[in-house]
Amino acid sequence: MEPLAPDMFEELCPSEFGPIRFADKWAPLVLQCLEVGPRRFSELRIPLPRITPRMLTRTLRTLERDGMITRTVSGEGRTQVHYALTPLGHSALDVFAVISAWTEKHWDDLLWAREAYDTAGAVGGS
């Protein structure tokens, strides 16, 4: 077997961008919340009660930086901020749909593997 190349993940490699959003715990959920239209910060917290305000802010900023969402400030007197998907963000939903379908198809296998690993770890002390 050949050794792995030390430059296989160059600083500006496309792999630098993909895993950031697709492996993030909260980003796919936030993008799904925005699928039907713009939402305010407080609206996003309703289906995501386990995310802290700080983490939601961080996730939104990163998604905005990556071009997946826009942040729009509006209103006179009382400022309102809305977050919405960009076309790039909408296209990511297709990827998440494939991942969700794969997860649903293999759900029992995933649960079984975790249980087997945890049981072996508890017994074997790995």
Q: Is the pTM of this model over 0.85?
A: no
Q: What is the pLDDT of residues 58-94, one digit of tens each?
A: 999 999 999 999 999 998 778 899 999 999 999 999 9
- Contact at 8 Å (CB) between 30 and 62? no
Burial of 46 (0-12, 13-18, 19+ CB in 10 A): exposed
Domains and CATH numbers, the chain: 14-124 (1.10.10.10)
* Mean pLDDT, range 107-124, rounded to an integer: 86
Q: What is the mean pLDDT of residues 85-113?
A: 91
How far is residue 75's CA from residue 20's CA, in Å, rounded to a whole number? Answer: 33
Q: What is the pairing mode between strands 69-74 and 80-85? A: antiparallel
Task: Extract the tokens encoding 96.
Answer: 């998440």
